[in-house]
């Protein structure tokens, strides 16, 4: 009788462990998907900033150019905060989606 009881307890513990690991993996995949979505959104935002800054430089409009660069730097700070929080997810997203040339250029200048 006690052997059956211990076998059932062991089976329950193994089942709970498997469920925990499965849910942990699902949670990690969902958070990776959210991070990748945010990464891609940031790339689109930086592409828009690149086009706008290029246009303002060509027009010679320094007032708007400075405002646009300040807004870009604020967006870039949010991006770097996110990157520092999850370096593994960032590396994975960068491998799949490639980082914007504009960001790489500004990172080298900073």
Give kind and range of the element (H or E) at residue 86: none
Contact 71, 49 (CB under 8 A): yes
**Residue 108 pLDDT level (bands cut at 50, 70, 90):** low
DSSP for residue 60 = T
Contact 64, 12 (CB under 8 A): no
Residue 96 is predicted with a pLDDT of 81
- Averaged pLDDT, 68-93: 86
58: left (phi over 0), alpha (psi -120 to 50) or beta: alpha
Residue 17 is predicted with a pLDDT of 96
Residue whose entry in the numeric block shows the structure tokens 């089976």: 11
């Amino acid at each position: 009788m006690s052997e059956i009881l211990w076998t059932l307890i062991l089976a329950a513990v193994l089942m709970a462990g498997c469920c925990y690991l499965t849910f942990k993996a699902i949670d990690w995949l969902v958070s990776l998907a959210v991070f990748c979505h945010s990464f891609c959104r940031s790339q689109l935002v930086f592409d828009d900033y690149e086009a706008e800054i290029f246009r303002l430089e060509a027009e010679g409009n320094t007032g708007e150019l400075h405002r646009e660069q300040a807004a870009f730097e604020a967006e870039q700070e949010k991006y770097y905060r996110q990157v520092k929080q999850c370096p593994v997810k960032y590396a994975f997203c960068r491998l799949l989606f490639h980082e914007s040339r504009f960001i790489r250029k500004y990172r080298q200048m900073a």
